[in-house]
Amino acid sequence: VRRIFSGIQPTGLVHLGNYFGAVKQWKTFIDDDSRAKPIFSIVDLHAITLPQNPAELRNGVESMAASLIACGIDPAKCILFRQSDVGEHTSLSWVLGCLATLPRLSQLPQFKEKSEKIRDVPLGLYVYPVLQSADILLYKATDVPVGEDNLQNVYFAQHMARVFNHRFGTEFFPRIKSIVLEDGSARIRSLRNPEKKMSKSDPDPKSRISIIDSEDEVVEKCRKAVTDFTSEVYYDLEKRPGVSNLILLHSLSAGITVDEAVQSAQGLDTGKYKLHVAEAVNEHLKPIRETYSALMNDRHHLREVLSEGAQNARSLASETWQAVRSIAGLSQMA
Ligand code: AQP
């Protein structure tokens, strides 16, 4: 059976990059019965690779669960859980860490980018991709939908599956396939610096639109989005990344093609077009905002959802972990 696994860090609110690049795609798998139940994890162990305030982290997990459900990730149709609730993630991560090599890990671009900004680099940041491999392999996942920034980590997980199988002469872990959208949504850009991806960790909140930003905030952020000195609206991702990012957000929000979005901008300069984009984004986010606030007012329900998700994840994870122990000689002969 094919199985989807993906994760998201509870380090801030879901932004349009996460939403169009990952979460909206997750929703399509939820309604597809041809695979096993998809598994989506709120990866708090990944979040602590950089310092987090414990109360904010705890709240962030519940807020992320509410956001995902509001985006259509129905917990009845998938396994939605907090990573740290399932101890096997760290257990498997250790075994894989013993098979991973330093040179291979140090090549990964995310580590390079993040560690450049820190003086005392935590070991956890270095082994982040090992933990992500464990997340995927623990459920013997075959399909991993991610944004472009995360693709190298999925390749690394593919590599870890091969190394494990080869070392122990087994076909235990299946082949992993990444799923990356080809329509541009795999890399939504920052509104303040279109050379960079939109990101939760960008210190400038105007660089991203969160799915629960108010209507006024969306208008303000679109108005302030960095474009260029050409007033005409047309799509050219390479030469005009700022305007093209706005066209993309418009087309994704309104459910129209990029060409249709450009057509609708005829006669508008980029300044006026920004308001048009804000309108489409607001329209799209309206029901999500409403569901999110209703869910956040019922924490008891959110906790129950997470605890049920953890139970379901644990039963799959422990089966894999027991098998890995046996394969690697970490348990008595069965
Ligand atoms: N800009 C983006 N466009 C498309 N997809 C994106 N993703 C992230 N940014 C974009 C995808 O969203 C999923 C969750 O990723 P994450 O939790 O790591 O989100 P983030 O915004 O990337 O968070 P941070 O805090 O800024 O983390 P780093 O710096 O690690 O990326 C993933 O599938 C991701 O690809």
Q: Which two tokens stand for residue 40?
A: 């989506």
What residue type is 321 in one-letter code?
A: W
Residue 89 beta carbon below 6 angstroms from any ligand 1 atom: no
* Cβ of 150 below 6 Å from ligand 1: yes
The domain ranges of the chain are 5-180+299-328, 205-294
* Domain 205-294 falls under CATH 3.20.20.140: no
Output the pTM of the full model: 0.96
Known catalytic residues are 114, 197, 200
In this structure, the residue with its CA closest to atom 30 of ligand 1 is: 110
Ligand 1 lined by 152 (C-beta under 6 Å):
no
Which residue type sits at 4?
I
Residue 167 parent element (H or E): helix 151-168
The position carrying tokens 């990944």 is 46
Return the closest-CA partner of residue 111 out of 101, 123, 100. Answer: 123
Tens digit of pLDDT per residue, the chain (334 long)? 899 999 999 999 999 999 999 999 999 999 888 889 999 999 999 999 999 999 999 999 999 999 999 999 999 999 999 999 999 999 999 999 999 999 999 889 888 888 888 999 999 999 999 999 999 999 999 999 999 999 999 999 999 999 999 999 999 999 999 999 988 888 999 999 999 999 998 999 999 999 999 999 999 999 999 999 999 999 999 999 999 999 999 999 999 999 999 999 999 999 999 999 999 999 999 999 999 999 999 999 999 999 999 999 999 999 999 999 999 999 987 6
CATH assignment, 5-180+299-328: 3.40.50.620
State whether the beta carbon of 22 lies less than 6 angstroms from ligand 1. yes
- Check if the beta carbon of residue 122 is closer than 8 Å to that of residue 3: no
Cα 199 to ligand 1 centre (Å): 6
Give the closest residue (by CA) to ligand 1 atom 14: 8
The atom number, within ligand 1, closest to the CA of 151 reads 35
Computed from CA positions of residues 273, 285, 47, 88, in that sequence, does the dihedral angle turn out positive or negative? negative
